[in-house]
Amino acid sequence: MASLFGLSKIPEIFYLVLEHLGYSDIFSLLITCKSFYPACYRELWSTLAFRGYIASDLIEERRQIGSYTTRERLLKFLKTDDAYQHGLKYMKVLGLGKSPFSSWTTDDQELIRVLNELLKSGKLAPRIVKVCLSSEDISRNRDPESVGVFPGLKEYCRERSLSEVTIHLQTEVVRSLYSVFDLSKITKFSLLVNFQRWYMGNRQDSWQTDNEDSRGQIVELADILHEMFNLKYFSWDTDTHYCFRNVFRLGECYMELEDLQAVVTNMKFLEVLVLSEFIFHPSFFLAPPASVKRLKYKGSFSVVWWRRFATYPFPGVEDLEIGVPNCRPYHRMSDFLEPEDHDKKVEDLILGDVAISSLKRFETGRGSGAPGHLPADLEECILRKNKALKRTLYEVVAKGRAQELIKTCRTKLELRLGYYKSPMLRRYTSRFIGSETEAEDLKELIGDSVQRLVECPNDWGSSSENPFEVVGRFGSNFEQLFKDRLSKCIGLTESEYAYKMGVGEDVSEEDFKKTCLQMLANWWNLESPNDWENARARAEDLVEKGKNEVLDRLSKGQDALVQEYAEKFLRGENPDVSSTAFEWSLRLAKEVETENKARIQGLDGVTPGAEVDPVSSSGSSSIPISPGTILLRCEGGA
């Protein structure tokens, strides 16, 4: 108790503690020690927040009033003559969640009336108003100026200066904001953009203009931001909602986007800008004003956007974060681009250099999500140009590059395993007809799969004609002759010949026909019509087990491989996907070969399934970085 009493004598520390406590914890502390009572009582009344039907991070959950009983008691208190003296005079923050009041409830209507009166009289005088505005709060069939406490709140804000009241707004609504708020008092604006949710048909929640009217939506946003000239924080988020985007070419809305840029440039007080996914178009680069110190980009942007990013100096930006998208957008990037830009991939882009040089903190999401969203040399360019960044960031960036590389290689190897599934299915289907033993087949199949990974050329699938399409045409011409069992033979033979063509063997339609007929001759007089189906089912089960076993082996060695390639990046090496995937395949083949020798020869001391350490013995877990070391060497121009 002595230590608690001493804490009450240091108000600066005590108030910091109280800020992190919920209502129940503050009340418990209030009745624990008499010296705590004044500070705890003030803190209890410092925030008056009403929980909405959806939780929001704008208002702390532990400080929200949600239950009907609590609101009923609050209403009785607010109606008393001593409400201001005994509580409201300490109130600093008013919080309104999404649709916090049900319009059909009598008590809620009475609470709304009382709150509006208190705002008008000045007895309810918040310094900060936090609002999570829902489309249900300002439905299209209702007058927004008569909904909830917004009429009293708007009048309260109009009569006061920015030093007396500010608004933090989180919403998916752009329309009707003029009618609801004094926009000049909004200092934090978080816009969860909703063009059109895929499950809502033509419902329009966010915009006054139609979903297809991109020009109108750009103008609508620019007009709103023009009135929010005191903004310190602005975030645009289309990465949260899985929704459609309005597809158009950049030149179609050039003037409207230029006007939007002019509005943002004139935001003299904006300090934080967060863009989760592109604003209207993936090639439109919204340059932050000079006042912005913290900047975050997250999403899928075009090559045109990244080239603009590289040349912009970002004056004043000290904290830069670049992330990868959370969800898959309901569109293709190429839909927005000119035909000559369709084949340009962001992951192949070499920036060469960047103009930004004022960073004190930098973070990238490379390796944390799907690859293909960041230029190849982005981190190198930023680290080279910004000397104030910590040297430890080199290791973080190198690991991110390694994670992305290994993840891409694994995807490539998994795709190849899928190519090999059908040829091996044919082999083991033939073997299982009339056979019951398969004890050693899984081990043999795993070795066969890994060997095919090694033998497959690095440019597999990159030829002008897809092997599966070419061989598929062979099958289509021949399939008309036989419709029953021959169709089953054709299916297996197509996959086998596609593999042969993929690894560089010569294939012809005549050989294809002979193979199909030979297989048909072997299967035509089977004693039971079910023999083929049973053998194929057994083969499918075995092949799937083999594929999963190979994938499991890839997973076991993945972390060590990430560490090894992170060290390569730190040494200035720049390994590519094809060579890395091939090296991984070789190591896997060596592991399987070692196990097979141990199994066949009965060698002691070698455990089948033991993981082969993929890290080179010459590597080191900690590599010193000299001041002149460049993380990744740039081999080309911009």
Tokens 């033998």 belong to which residue?
Answer: 455
Question: Does residue 324 or residue 384 have the better pLDDT?
Answer: 384
Strand order in the sheet with 93-96: 64-65, 47-50, 93-96, 128-133, 166-171, 186-192, 233-237, 272-276, 294-298, 319-323, 361-364
Q: What's the angle, vertex CA 56, arms to CA 54 and CA 57, rounded to 5? A: 160
Q: Indicate the helix (H) or strand (E) that contains 120.
A: helix 106-121
Identify which has the larger pLDDT, 405 or 560. 560
Distance of CA 348 to the CA centre of its chain: 20
Alpha carbon dihedral 455, 460, 465, 469, in 10-degree steps, equals: 70
- Integer Cα distance of 281 and 215 in angstroms: 12
Whether the full predicted model's pTM is greater than 0.85, yes or no, is no
Strand duo 272-276 + 233-237: pairing = parallel
> How far from the centroid of its chain's Cα atoms is residue 166's Cα?
31
Beta 294-298 vs 93-96: how paired, if at all? unpaired
Give me the amino acid identity at 175: R
Residue with tokens 């910004």: 386
Distance CA 235, CA 292 (A): 12
Q: How many helices (H) and strands (E) does the chain have?
A: 20, 11
The CA distance from 13 to 19, in Å, is 10
Alpha-carbon torsion (115, 117, 119, 123), positive or negative = negative
- 173-177, 231-235, 275-279, 625-629: which range is least confident on average? 625-629
Q: For the residues 566-580, what does the mean pLDDT come to?
A: 79
Q: What is the structure's pLDDT at 30?
A: 75
Q: What pLDDT, on a 0 to 100 scale, did the predictor assign at position 65?
A: 65
> Which of 86-95, 124-133, 220-229, 510-519 is most confident?
220-229
Q: Which two tokens stand for residue 154?
A: 């708007």
- Furthest C-alpha separation in the chain: 100
Identify the pLDDT of residue 613: 46
Give the integer Cα–Cα distance in Å for 132 and 453: 54
The one-letter code for the residue type at 382 is I
User: Which pLDDT value is given to residue 637?
Assistant: 32
Higher pLDDT, 2 or 124: 124
- Residues recorded for the chain: 638
- Residue pLDDT, tens place only, 120-160: 888 889 999 998 887 776 665 555 545 678 888 999 999 99
pLDDT in tens, 543-561: 777 778 877 888 888 888 8
Q: Which of 103-117, 166-180, 428-442 has the highest mean pLDDT?
A: 166-180
385 contacts 357 by C-beta, under 8 angstroms: yes
Looking at the predicted structure, is the pLDDT value of residue 268 above 90?
yes
Q: Are strands 361-364 and 272-276 parallel, antiparallel or unpaired?
A: unpaired
Mean of the pLDDT values across residues 435-452?
64
Convert the pLDDT of each residue in 496-516 to its tens digit: 788 788 777 888 888 888 887
Residue with tokens 């006061």: 160
Cα distance between residue 541 and residue 551, in whole Å: 16
pLDDT mean over 448-469: 56
In this structure, the strands spanning 93-96 and 47-50 are parallel
* pLDDT at residue 271 tops 90: yes
Instruction: Report the alpha-carbon distance of residue 17 to residue 192 in Å, rounded.
Output: 32
In this prediction, residue 307 carries a pLDDT of: 93
Task: With a cut of 70, say whether residue 83 has pLDDT above it.
Answer: yes
First to last CA, the chain: 67
d(CA 13, CA 26): 15
pLDDT at 519 over 70: yes
Q: Is the pLDDT of residue 469 over 90?
A: no
Contacts of residue 30, Cβ cutoff 8 Å, sequence gap at least 6: 36, 37, 40, 41, 44
The bridge status of strand 93-96 relative to strand 64-65 is: unpaired
User: Which pLDDT band, with edges at 50, 70 and 90, does 48 fall under?
Assistant: confident
- Other C-beta atoms closer than 10 Å to the C-beta of 446 total 20
Whole-number percent of the chain with pLDDT over 70: 66
pLDDT tens profile 594-625: 777 776 666 445 444 444 444 333 333 333 33
Query: Which CA distances in Å does 440 have to 261, 403, 428?
Result: 67, 35, 12
The pLDDT value given to residue 135: 73
Phi/psi of residue 445, nearest 5 degrees: -65, -40
Please report the DSSP string for 39-64 in residue order: HHHHHHHHEEEE--SS--TTS-GGGE
pLDDT of 481 above 60? no
Cα–Cα dist 61/44, whole Å: 14
In whole angstroms, give the CA distance from residue 53 to residue 89.
Answer: 28
Rounded distance, CA 232 to CA 291, Å? 9
Percent of the chain with pLDDT over 90: 16
Beta bridge mates, 361: 319
> Which of 335-344, 451-460, 508-517, 526-535 comes out lowest in average pLDDT?
451-460
